């Protein structure tokens, strides 16, 4: 029985030696795997930090974009307002030019004086000028045409008829 026990003990020692050797091999293999896992964990951590940083950068870009969109909208509104003001001023200038053209074509001194007064009230004072019969441009043109015709007749006829027309 002692012999059997010794034999069992040797067998068990051999098994223990083999198992210890195998355990040591597994531990040696485990070292690089553990290092690889640590490297992967560090890589994941760096990627996560980079992702968070990119997210923050994107949020900042979005905020900047919104600010720039608001600025564009404000500037567009300002441009529209400026264009409208420019258009109104151009209309005002055109109206003034038309009135001056009508005044220049007038030949009757009284109508010219009334027209200048009305233009002064309208364009300098900014009042609504109330005109009489000769206030509208077609009436001015009609009077101008008739005055021009009288002047031509006077130039063809005698000098006394030009004094009657007011010149």
Q: For residues 114 and 103, is the Cβ–Cβ distance under 8 A?
A: no
Q: What is the largest CA-CA distance in the chain?
A: 172
Question: What pTM does this model have?
Answer: 0.47
| Residue 102 token pair | 């009508």
pLDDT score at 163: 40
The DSSP line for 76-136 is HHHHHHHHHHHHHHHHHHHHHHHHHHHHHH---HHHHHHHHHHHIIIIII-------GGGS
Nearest in space to 164 (alpha carbons), one of 108, 113, 111, 112? 108
pLDDT score at 139: 52
- Average pLDDT for consecutive 10-residue bins of the chain (167 residues)? 91 93 88 88 97 97 97 97 96 91 89 89 78 49 53 50 39
**Other Cβ atoms within 10 Å of 111 Cβ, number:** 22
144 burial level (CB within 10 Å; 0-12, 13-18, 19+):
buried
Nearest in space to 122 (alpha carbons), one of 167, 80, 90, 92? 92
pLDDT score at 89: 93
pLDDT score at 88: 94
pLDDT score at 128: 77
pLDDT score at 29: 83
Q: For residues 143 and 109, is the Cβ–Cβ distance under 8 A?
A: no
């Amino acid at each position: 029985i002692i012999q059997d026990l010794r034999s069992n003990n040797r067998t068990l020692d051999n098994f223990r030696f083999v198992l210890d050797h195998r355990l040591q091999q597994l531990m040696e293999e485990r070292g690089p795997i553990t290092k690889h896992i640590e490297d992967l964990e560090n890589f994941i951590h760096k990627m996560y930090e980079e992702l968070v940083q990119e997210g923050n950068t994107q949020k900042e870009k979005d905020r900047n974009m919104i600010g720039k969109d608001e600025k564009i909208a404000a500037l567009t509104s300002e441009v529209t307002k400026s264009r409208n003001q420019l258009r109104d001023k151009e209309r005002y200038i055109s109206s003034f030019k038309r009135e001056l053209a009508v005044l220049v074509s007038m030949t009757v001194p009284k109508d010219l004086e009334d027209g200048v007064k009305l233009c002064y009230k309208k364009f300098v004072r900014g009042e609504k000028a109330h005109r009489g019969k000769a206030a509208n441009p077609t009436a001015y043109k009609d009077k101008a045409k008739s005055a021009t015709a009288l002047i031509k007749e006077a130039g063809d006829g005698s000098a006394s008829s030009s004094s009657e027309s007011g010149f």
